[in-house]
Structure 1
């Protein structure tokens, strides 16, 4: 097929991104703006490399990233094309994007005046996907604490602060989100919370009126279903497949009922670990505008992505006018570090910050400032790079153990990221009995039925590997297989 167009990408060699990321981002922008339509051919890798003055392998890696994220597809002996699976994209010019406003209703709060845990005795716990606390940069964090307390003017940080959280941390988050998550957030429009769970609670309180319908993934995060229900929501579920939440099923719900919000974990779906592909992301954003519902994006472990693609946050899209973005440092540093953050549309954040001031005057200023210092001096970045390498090795080891010890008994797909596997047995088993037999061997798993709205387990279960060392992984998987075979033989 003829590829007549000459590339006009503006590639900056000092943007802080790799050339691979810049090339992929430029092509992605052309697709989103509608200048590259579905099925359109991309330039040959040699041609594009010559046009840009880069190595051909650089272009190959950029194309692989686009293919992994669902933006492009490779056709045998034909080349690389914009994916046919993408929906028709109605590009927005800059002026239109600036004028767009969120169009969902909120529950407004006015600010008041201001005057799964391991069971004892279990040696190996395949949790929901917690990080290894032994990797946490505690020495660096401790030194940062001491530096803050030794500074002149330390009284400022020891007094009452901004209910939104430490300003320096919010400023560092603005840089971080722009560089790593692909979107700009004003420091004035970010609220630091005590973990993502607090951010979810505040969101539910601001959004939900009694009787509102909220949609969650199935299987999904059980705590959020309970949270929404306790705040008066009618919780409905939509199934998840290999590309994320079922958009057709979601739209059917929208046609029959007024949906207030949709909660998703697009980067690594909880619990199945699948990554929502580009087409689904665009369709979800379009539905949120068409039917005026909020999207609650829980980006709980974005740092741990091991594949060729690096999906940006849903909030990075110019169509993300209804997206509320939540993340935290609990997975990156340690669960005990209760520092999360949330950002979203201005009117929503104004109400949320007022509510936060009512229930929790402020966060831990010293901890927040210490984390900001570690972000500034590069400690957090170096820790993330080291942790990703370790967790990638543990993920690969777990895949080998599952294949060796279980064989064809179960199905599993190596996750693109995150700290857990989703495995499915080829036939239904009694998970209650299985869990009880495992406890006798001092092995603990997360009850699979908790992931489903009806409380009934299917074929699969989630096995977190991040907090287990090599010996624990090998012995744990071996025991899982032995107990399963013993149970089936009874």
Structure 2
């Protein structure tokens, strides 16, 4: 241990000044006990006698006598001009000379719990580590373009202000909530106030809390047959019944949803209507109206997850379901600031005020609110128009990348794939014309320096597709990525032909 003065000696070493036993012997016994209990692992360097004297409020001579006693008993080794070190302790109460290259495990923390608990397969981490130069995502920003200077400058300025924007015991930043409500009203056609908003560190946390409030065991939740894996994981933690609804070029199939509703008491329908995850198709206007009507008829809640509204490339984006007259049956979830530097991102939920208040009760337990200083930064960036300026610049860049990626993959891989150009977002849905093993494709791409996460691969009896994000790639990286994909597909097809 490099900083022995940080060890809380007084928490496990006690001296009884009323005892007839000499204090230096009491201290030596307490040190010996601490070593046996693992409080002082082998190799630990003890503080010097002056520091120990200060820690225990004892005369330095008493400390020196204690250290000498510990060395005589074989508990420590005193190295002149260097310090005192705990010796290696084993089960036979024998002590060995410390080898600094030896892996000491006797006093290590237990690797396994001594109690039983249920392990969740559903929550196994789907993310993989990679070492490849290039990698694919499901549609993320390019962190090299993320705005950092403006929010950092504002944050520094806010910290220097003498007046506080937070009242005593206030956990929310009202300035940010008011500006966020105004921003969402203007950009998404909503009609809300700050009482209709709750903000957390990410949208997945909101989904988790919603599931805790609204779902019970054996409730039925309808999702699309190809859907966001994290959402399904969150819902299934409540032991619900997942009902899958088919998707086509116009989004969720409302006829299929009606059949499911007629045969099951659906509690929640989860949709991503702006750009369906993962296929990127937009829910048509007719189906949006029908979804609202089905909600009124069968009484299910609509959770609308609008994960990439900011990345629309037309002047008239399709407005969310939450902007319509939906009798308080739509919970709208989105992201704010995902195009800024990490740390300035937030998830938000729009819902009727009474549900917002219930959500805040749960949030108060797990403390997932955004830093109020970060919220102040975001509020001021909305108020002075910086958010709009940043988004205008970034949308232009991402649209150019999306157009380039689509044209490139269409020209290079047209004989192997079907692909439609999405109206927005940061990803493209690629379907293969013939059945290939996507896991084999993943392995071949890896050999050529391209990592494809397993969560991007969609292989069923009907589907052989990949969701490919382009936002994080510049033009040169797009060229290289598509070249590797082409080379790997050809290699896989040739290999399959040889085997047949």
**Band the TM-score falls in, shorter-chain normalisation:** 0.7 to 0.9
Look up the match of 1:477: 482
Match of 1:104 in 2: none
Residues 324-376 of structure 1, C-alpha deviations (whole Å, 9 max, x = no match): 00111253325553411101123322211111112216431111111111111
Q: Deviations for 1:123-149, whole angstroms, at most 9, x for unmatched residues?
A: 111101011112222000101101111
- Structure 1 stretches of at least 4 aligned residues deviating more than 6 Å after TM superposition: none
- 1:308–1:151 Cα change, 3 Å: closer
User: Which of 161, 164, 172 is equivalent to 2:170?
Assistant: 161
Partner of 2:185: 178
Measure, in 2, the Cα distance between the counterparts of 1:387 and 1:308. 15
- Superposition pairs for residues 50-69 of structure 1, below 5 Å? none
Q: Tell me the residue number matched to 1:487.
A: 492
The TM-score with structure 1 as length reference comes to: 0.72
SS in 2 for 1:408: coil
Name the structure 2 match of 1:135: 145
Q: Is the 8 A contact 1:301 1:332 kept in 2?
A: no
Contact map agreement 2:203 2:333 (CA 8 A) in 1:
yes
Task: Indicate which of 253, 256, 275 corresponds to 1:268.
Answer: 275
Say whether residues 1:441 and 2:448 are aligned partners: yes
Task: Classify 1:468/1:361 alpha carbon distance in 2 versus 1 (closer, same or farther; 3 Å).
Answer: closer
Of 316-325 and 388-397, deviating more is 316-325
Q: Residues of 2 paired with 1:344 and 1:211: CA distance?
A: 24
Once residues 139 and 449 of structure 1 are traced to their aligned partners in structure 2, the CA distance between those partners, rounded to angstroms, is 32
Superposition pairs for residues 49-128 of structure 1, below 5 Å? 119-128=129-138
3-state SS of 1:384 partner: helix
Moved more, 441-450 or 260-269: 441-450
1:167-316 equivalences under 5 Å are: 167-307=174-314, 309-316=316-323
Displacement after TM superposition at 1:202 (Å): 1.2
CA contact (8 A) 2:201 2:369 kept: no
CA distance in 2, matches of 1:202, 1:331: 21
Larger Rg: 2
Show the counterpart of 1:318: 325
Q: Which has the higher contact order (CA 8 A, sep 6+)?
A: 1
Paired with 1:395 and 1:264, the residues of 2 have a C-alpha distance of 24
Aligned to 2:396: 389
Aligned partners of 1:412 and 1:424 also within 8 Å? yes
For 2:415, what is the secondary structure of its paired residue? helix
CA contact (8 A) 1:157 1:366 kept: no
Please say if residues 261 and 296 of structure 1, whose CA atoms lie closer than 8 Å, have aligned partners that are also in contact: yes
Aligned length: 370
Q: Does 1:350 align with 2:357?
A: yes
Using the TM superposition, give the Cα deviation of residue 307 of structure 1 relative to its aligned residue in structure 2, in angstroms: 4.0
Aligned residue in 2 for 1:148: 158
CA, structure 1 residues 364+136, in 2 after alignment: closer, same or farther (shift >3 Å)?
same
1:159 Cα deviation (Å)? 6.5
> When the two structures are superposed, what TM-score results if normalisation uses the length of structure 2?
0.71
Per-residue CA deviations over 1:61-84 (Å, capped at 9, x if unaligned) read xxxxxxxxxxxxxxxxxxxxxxxx
- Which of 408, 425, 428 is the matching residue for 2:435? 428
What pairs with 1:337-376 in structure 2 (closer than 5 Å)? 337-360=344-367, 362-376=369-383
Task: Give the 3 Å change call, closer, same or farther, for CA 313–198 of structure 1 in structure 2.
Answer: same
Alpha carbons 2:381, 2:387 under 8 Å: kept: yes
What is the CA–CA distance in structure 1 between the aligned matches of 2:376 and 2:315, rounded to whole Å?
A: 33
1:308 CA displacement = 6.3
Structure 1 spans left out of the alignment, 5+ residues:
1-115
What root-mean-square deviation, in Å, do the aligned CA atoms of Structure 1 and Structure 2 show?
Answer: 1.9
Task: Report the counterpart of residue 104 of structure 2 in structure 1.
Answer: none
CA contact (8 A) 1:419 1:466 kept: yes
Task: Verify the 8 A CA contact 2:228 2:278 in the aligned structure 1.
Answer: yes
**Offset of residue 313 of structure 1:** 0.9
Give me the whole-angstrom Cα distance separating, in 1, the residues matched to 2:466 and 2:316.
25
Distance 1:174 1:451, change over 3 A: farther
Aligned to 2:464: 459
Preserved contact between residue 160 and residue 362 of structure 1 (Cα < 8 Å): no
The answer on whether the counterparts of 2:419 and 2:428 sit within 8 Å (CA) in structure 1 is yes
Contact residue 138 and residue 456 of structure 2 kept, 8 A = no
Residues 426 and 470 in structure 2, CA contact (< 8 A), matched pair in contact too? yes
Matched with 2:100 is none
3-state SS of paired residue (1:398)? helix
Q: Is the 8 A contact 1:123 1:442 kept in 2?
A: yes
Cα deviation, residue 292, structure 1: 0.6
| Post-superposition CA distance 1:415-463 (Å, at most 9, x none) | 10000000111011101100011111111223267657xx778221100
1:218/1:451 contact within 8 Å kept: no
Distance 1:222 1:318 in 2: 30
- Match of residue 106 from structure 1: none
Q: Deviations over 1:233-262 (max 9, x none)?
A: 211111111111010111111101100001
